[in-house]
Structure 1
Amino acid sequence: MRQKLIATLLHIISLLPFWILYGISDLLFVLLFYVIKYRKGVVMENLRKAFPEKTEVERRQIAKRFYRFFPDLIVESIKMKSIKASTVIKRIELLNPEEVYKHFKKGKGVIGVTAHYGNWELGIHRLSLMTDYPRLVIYKPLNDKNFNEVYNALRSRFGATMVPMKQILRHMIRLKGTPHISMFVADQTPTYQDSDYFMEFLNQDTLVYTGTERIARLTKNPIVYCHIGRKAKRGYYYCKFTTLVEDPTEYEEHEITALHNRFTEQRIREQPEYWLWSHRRWKRKRRK
C-alpha cells in the first residue's frame, strides 16, 4: 500500500511542466540552504578536507552552488517517472556515442563507470535510449524496500535492467560474448566486507569499491567512463564517453580502480558544485 502511494505521488508531481518544477526547486533551495540547512555541516566539512588550498569564502561559494543545483536534481529525478523519450534525448546530448559503439562492433560488452555527478539519474534513461543491446545498471539496494522498488521501476522505464551489486556476476556470465553495457556508479562508500582497498581521493584516505576492476578482469571487457556534465541552460546536460581501459588484463591489481577514481576526481575539481557533497563519503577509516 505504501509503495503504491509513493509511486502515485511521484507520478502526479512528475506530470508538472518543467517551469513549475523549477519553481519548486527554487523554494527547496531556500528551505535547504537557509532554513533547514540540510547537512550543511557535512557539506562544509567535506569541502574543507577536499580543498584545503581554497579559502573559506571559496568553499562557501561552492557549497551555495551545490545547494542551488541539488534541488534541480531532485525535481528532475522525479520527472523521470513520466518524461518522454524524446525529451530525455533532447536534454542529455551524447557528445561521442561512437566511443561505446566501437566496442559493440567488436562483439564486446562495455563496463561503464560514472559517479554521483551531474544528473546521473536522468543519465540512466539516456543510456537506455542509446542502444537496444542489454543495458544493466548496477545499484546498491536502499534500506527502505518500498523506495527501492519505486525507484527501480522509475529507472527501468526505457529498458534498463536494475541489478543489485551482489548479483552482477551472474548477469555478466549470462551475457558473456554478447554486446551490452553495465553501468557502475563507482564513487559510493563500500562496507568493510565489500572492499579493503584505500587510496587518496580528494586529499583524503578513502575506502573505494574494487568491483568494477574485478568484473573487468573476469570478463576482459573494456572500461568506458561516462561523464555527465551540466550545460549552461538549466536542465540540460551532456555525456562524454572516455575509454579508460581497453584490455583489463594488462593492468596490475588496483591500477584500474585507482585510474577511474582519479578520473572522477579530475572531473569534480573542474566543476565541484555538481558532485554529491551531502554524502558522508569518508565515514570509513582504516582498521588498526
Structure 2
Amino acid sequence: MPYIGYFMQGLIYYISLPFIYFLSLLPFPVLYRVCDGFYFVLYYVVGYRKNVAMQNLRNAFPEKSEAEIKRMCKDFYHYLCDLFPETFKTLTISRSAMLKHCTLSPQAKEIFDRYNQEGKSIILVMGHYGNWEWAGNTFSLTCKQKLFVVYHPLANKYLNGLMYRMRTRFGTGLIAMRETYKDMVKYKSITSATAFIADQTPMPENAIWTSFLNQDTPVFPGTEKIAKKMNYPIVYITIKRLKRGYYTILAELLSEEPKNTADTEITTLHTARLEKDIREQPELWLWTHKRWKHKRPAEKSIV
C-alpha cells in the first residue's frame, strides 16, 4: 500500500511539473490572462469551496448585504487565481524582477536593519494574507539577517521537495513546524528573523481562544510560547497589494520584550492586527480555509 501511495505521489508530481514550470516562465501580462481563465473555471465551473468562502464572509461581515458579500467573494477568487501562479514564478523569476514586484517599505527596512545592527534576532508574525511567498523572497534578498520560515511539510514528498527548493532559492531557510523551538535554539548564535504564519487552525483543546472577525477563534499558542522563551522582539508583517502583481511589505513592532507581556497578550495583539488588515483588503485572505471548523470548549475563555 505505501508503494502505491508513493507511486501516485510521483505520478501527480511529474504530470504537474512541466505545467508548473510553463506557468513560471510566462511573461506577467500573459500569466494574468491565464489567471483570468483559472478564475472562470474555479469560480463558475468547479465552484471550489465557494459555499465555505461565502459563509465565512457572511459571518465575518454581518453588516454587508448579500450582493456585497458576493462581490467580495468574486474578488477573493480572482486574487486566489493570481496567488498560486505568482508563487510558481519564484521558480524562474530573476532577483531584479522579484524586487520590482515585491518591495520592502523604508520603514520596515529601518526596523530590520536596526535589529540586525544590534545583533538581535527577531520573530515575525503574519497571516495568510497577500503574497507571503514573495514577501519571504524579498526579505531574504534585501535584509542582512537570516530568514527562517516555519512551515508545515506537504504530504506529497515530491511536491514538498519542489516547494522547498522554491522557497529556499533566494536564501530563505525553512523550519518544520514540529522542530520550531529546537531549531531556533540551534540557530541562536545567528542573527535571524523567524517567521510564523499564525492564522492556521489548531486543535481546540490546545488553543488560545479569542474573538476574530466576529467569531470565537482558536489560535496556535506556539508563537506566543516560543516568543516568551526566546524573548525575541516580535514584529508584525503586512503584505499590501498595490496593484495586480505588485506588493509592498510593511512592518510594525508588537513587543520589544515578550517575556514581560501578560498571558495571551501577544496572541491578542497579532490577531487583532491581522483582522484590521483583512477588513482593509478582504480579498487578500484565504476565505476557502475552514478556519472556524472547531467550536470553543466550554471551559475555554475568550481573550
State the TM-score bracket (shorter-chain normalisation): over 0.9
1:209 corresponds to 2:225: no
The equivalent residue for 1:219 is: 230
Report what 1:26 is aligned to: 36
Cα deviation per residue 1:249-269 (whole Å; 9 max; x = unaligned)?
A: 221111101110110001101
- Does the alignment pair 1:143 with 2:155? yes
Q: How does 1:208-247 map to 2 (within 5 A)?
A: 208-232=219-243, 234-247=244-257
Among 67, 81, 90, the residue aligned to 1:80: 90
- Runs (4+) of structure 1 moved beyond 6 Å? none
| Deviation of the 1:177 alpha carbon | 4.7
User: Which has the higher mean CA deviation after the structures are superposed, 3-12 or 238-247?
Assistant: 3-12
**TM-score computed with the length of structure 2 as normaliser:** 0.90
The aligned counterpart of 1:39 is 49
Normalised TM-score (structure 1): 0.94
Cα distance in structure 2, aligned partners of 1:187 and 1:196: 12
Correspondence list, 1:92-241, <5 A: 92-95=102-105, 96=107, 97-192=109-204, 195-232=206-243, 234-241=244-251
The one-letter amino acid of 2:60's match is A
Aligned equivalents of 2:250, 2:158: Cα separation in 1: 33
Equivalent in 241, 263, 267 of residue 257 of structure 1? 267
Q: What is the alpha-carbon distance in structure 2 between the residues aligned to residue 158 and residue 130 of structure 1?
A: 10
Contact 1:100–1:224 (CA under 8 A) maintained in structure 2: no
SS in 2 for 1:182: strand
Partner secondary structure for residue 116 of structure 2: helix
- The answer to whether the Cα contact below 8 Å between 1:14 and 1:82 also exists between their aligned partners in 2 is yes
The more displaced of 95-104 and 144-153 is 144-153
- Between the aligned residues of both structures, percent identity stands at 40
Q: Give the aligned length.
A: 286
Q: Please report the RMSD computed on the Cα atoms of aligned residues, expressed in angstroms.
A: 1.6
Following superposition, the deviation at residue 7 of structure 1 comes to: 4.0
The answer as to whether partners of 1:125 and 1:155 remain within 8 angstroms in 2 is yes
Name the SS for the 1:231 alignment partner.
strand
Q: Shift in Å at residue 191 of structure 1?
A: 2.9
Q: Which amino acid aligns with 2:170?
A: F
* 1:220-257 Cα deviation digits (max 9, x unpaired): 1101111001003x200011111111110221111101
Distance 1:76 1:158 in 2: 16
- What CA distance in whole angstroms lies between the structure 1 residues aligned with 2:133 and 2:34? 19
Contact 2:123–2:196 (CA under 8 A) maintained in structure 1: yes
**Distance in 2, Cα, partners of 1:13 & 1:273:** 23
